[in-house]
Chains A and B, each alone.
Chain A
């Protein structure tokens, strides 16, 4: 029993120090994300948002490898865009969800499961974008995890995949960003531009 309680005590101390450090050094952008989540919570919006069954008519035919695809439903805790993925060519995006993990999926699903859709072009040379695509392909099979730390090479969420493949090339899509790289912040990055006005 004693070994268990001692291990727990040391573990609890480490966790408390980590939390205290993060609260004290919290960046303004992190506060912004928390404030948004809190204001949404007060309106009864919590989690991934609600798909109202209404599809969108966004045209994905102009996509090039390395473009960023966005999907949005109302009532999410983290912004207008609730999901992001990297277009890898041949009508497929590399995306990550909890149950299937990180894997290629048809881009057409963004017309069916989101009431709004959009796409961003990254303002970088084609060879950089191709290398980003190659990096994304190597992430297939990796787990989705809501709390994934920014620098963990094993745990992912949708917009972290998009951010990371470009960050590894030396281009940070969210340079002053908070702990979480939310899709809305990627959409506001100076390194991207919308391909066309979004679906609805």
Chain B
């Protein structure tokens, strides 16, 4: 449990700091692209580092990594879930919807400065960057789990 909380806190701090750096670089659009790949690389390193610290069977490693991912990506994931439930008609637009989207977008500022270079629309209404924000949380969780399992399968790992 201690490992799960520790890595969740670390990843949350990473996302806040890297989003802050991307924000500070926003006046220089091509420079502001750099924090995103650095952040992705560090998520991979964090995933591998977690697996090295977590001496349990493979299934347990995946579940624990997924749990960390869920805690870490809560601000973004709530926006992704809202988007899905809205699309399938389970929820409707209301006053809180915008705030949920604001939270998701602010959380993923580190990627927004990359997505801003991609124009275009999806389905005639949504901007490509918005769909990128919706997908970012699930993909980051998968990246973290993938890095943990990759490390777990390497020879020499307990």
Chain A residues packing against B (C-beta within 8 Å): 1, 3-5, 7-8, 11-12, 14-15, 18, 46-48, 50, 98-101, 103, 140-143, 145-149, 151-155
Whole-angstrom distance between the alpha carbons of A151 and B23 in the complex?
Answer: 12
Assuming the contacts A8-B14, A99-B125, A142-B116, asked whether A152 and B26 have C-beta atoms less than 8 A apart, the reply is yes
Given A14-B21, A50-B95, A99-B126: A1 touches B49 (CB 8 Å cut-off): yes
B2 proximity list for chain A (CB < 8 A): none
Q: Are A141 and B120 in contact (CB under 8 A)?
A: yes
Specify which chain B residues have a CB less than 8 angstroms from the CB of A154 in the assembled complex: 26, 29, 32, 113, 116-117
Q: Find out whether the CB atom of B29 lies under 8 angstroms from the CB atom of A7.
A: no
| B 36-54 binary contact with A (CB < 8 Å = 1; else 0) | 0010001001100100000
Residues of B within 8 A of A48 (CB): 98
Contact partner of A11 (CB less than 8 A), chosen from B21, B112, B115, is B21
Whether, in the assembled complex, B78 has its beta carbon less than 8 Å from a beta carbon of chain A, the answer is: no
Majority DSSP secondary structure for residues of A touching B: loop
Q: Which residues of A contact B45 (CB under 8 A)?
A: 3-4
Mark the stretch among B56-64, B65-73, B100-108 that contacts chain A: B100-108
Per CB-CB distance, the 3 closest pairs between chain A and chain B, nearest first, are: A141-B119, A101-B127, A11-B17
Q: Chain B 125-140 against A: per-residue CB contact (8 Å), 1 yes, 0 no?
A: 1111110000000000
Q: Which residue of the partner chain A has the closest CB to B102?
A: A146
Task: Type the 1/0 row for B79-96, where 1 means its CB is closer than 8 Å to any CB of A.
Answer: 000000000000000010
Residues of B within 8 A of A152 (CB): 26-27, 29
Interface pair B117/A98, CB less than 8 Å apart: no
Which residues of B sit under 8 angstroms from A155, Cβ to Cβ? 26, 112-113, 116
Q: Does residue B74 face the partner (Cβ distance < 8 Å to A)? A: no
B144 proximal to A (CB < 8 A)? no
Q: How many Å from the CB of B53 to the closest CB on chain A?
A: 9
**List of B residues within 8 angstroms of A142 by Cβ:** 116, 119
Contact assessment for A145 and B112 in the assembled complex, using a CB-CB cutoff below 8 Å: yes
B101 in contact with A98 (CB, 8 Å): yes
Q: Which residues of A lie under 8 Å from residue B102 when comparing CB positions?
A: 47, 98, 146
- A8 with B127: CB separation less than 8 A: no
With an 8 A cutoff between CB atoms, is B158 at the interface?
no
Given known A-B contacts A99-B126, A149-B26, A7 and B42 have beta carbons under 8 A apart: yes
What residue in chain B is nearest A49 (Cβ atoms)? B95
Report how far A141 CA is from B20 CA in the complex, Å.
23
Check: B5 CB closer than 8 A to any chain A CB: no
CA distance A100 to B23 in the complex (A): 21
Residues A149 and B98 in contact in the complex (CB < 8 Å), given A100-B126, A142-B116, A143-B116: no
Chain B CB count within 10 A is highest, among A5, A48, A50, A155, for A155
Of A3, A7, A47, the residue contacting B99 (CB under 8 A) is A47
- Nearest residue (CB) in A for B120 is A141
List B contacts of A147 (CB < 8 A). 23, 106, 109
Other A-B pairs beyond A3-B45, A103-B127, A151-B27, 10, CB < 8 Å: A4-B46, A11-B21, A47-B98, A98-B102, A99-B125, A99-B126, A143-B130, A147-B106, A154-B116, A155-B113
